[in-house]
Amino acid sequence: DVKVTQSSRYLVKRTGEKVFLECVQDMDHENMFWYRQDPGLGLRLIYFSYDVKMKEKGDIPEGYSVSREKKERFSLILESASTNQTSMYLCASIALDRYEQYFGPGTRLTVT
């Protein structure tokens, strides 16, 4: 079974802090994604990566950056956390020859 893990289930940070969210997948998938999930808004794509060191902006990239130094790891960075970034963050991965995304358990981030 594909496994996507995220470094934290719950995180509380202060406004202005730099925040790192880590995601690791164990199935050698090329594509990885970061979403945020908010009530009534569904999942919105922040960034995705289709290869090591490659990244593309999603629909809401402002205030975020990403890093993919190794194929299995995709990091989401909040350069200066703000209260409107309080949300559930989901990581997902997908193989090149398939279209089914596999999701991690999510990180619930609260910025105070």
Partner 1 sequence: AQSVSQHNHHVILSEAASLELGCNYSYGGTVNLFWYVQYPGQHLQLLLKYFSGDPLVKGIKGFEAEFIKSKFSFNLRKPSVQWSDTAEYFCAVSLTSGTYKYIFGTGTRLKVLA
List interacting residues with partner 1 (CB under 8 A).
31, 33, 35, 40-45, 48, 50, 56, 58, 90, 92, 94, 99-101, 103-106
| Rounded Cα distance, 88 and 50, in Å | 23
- In whole angstroms, how close is the CB of 80 to partner 1 at the nearest point? 27
Structure token pair of residue 104? 């991690």
Q: Which is nearer to partner 1, 50 or 73 (CB)?
A: 50
Q: Which is nearer to partner 1, 73 or 102 (CB)?
A: 102
Q: Which residues contact 46 (CB under 8 A, 6 or more apart)?
A: 34, 35, 36, 58, 59, 60, 61, 64, 66, 76, 89
Q: Which is nearer to partner 1, 19 or 92 (CB)?
A: 92
Structure token pair of residue 76? 């989401």
- In whole angstroms, how close is the CB of 58 to partner 1 at the nearest point? 7
- In whole angstroms, how close is the CB of 56 to partner 1 at the nearest point? 8
Smallest CA-to-CA distance from 81 within 20, 3, 10 is with 20
Q: Which is nearer to partner 1, 21 or 90 (CB)?
A: 90
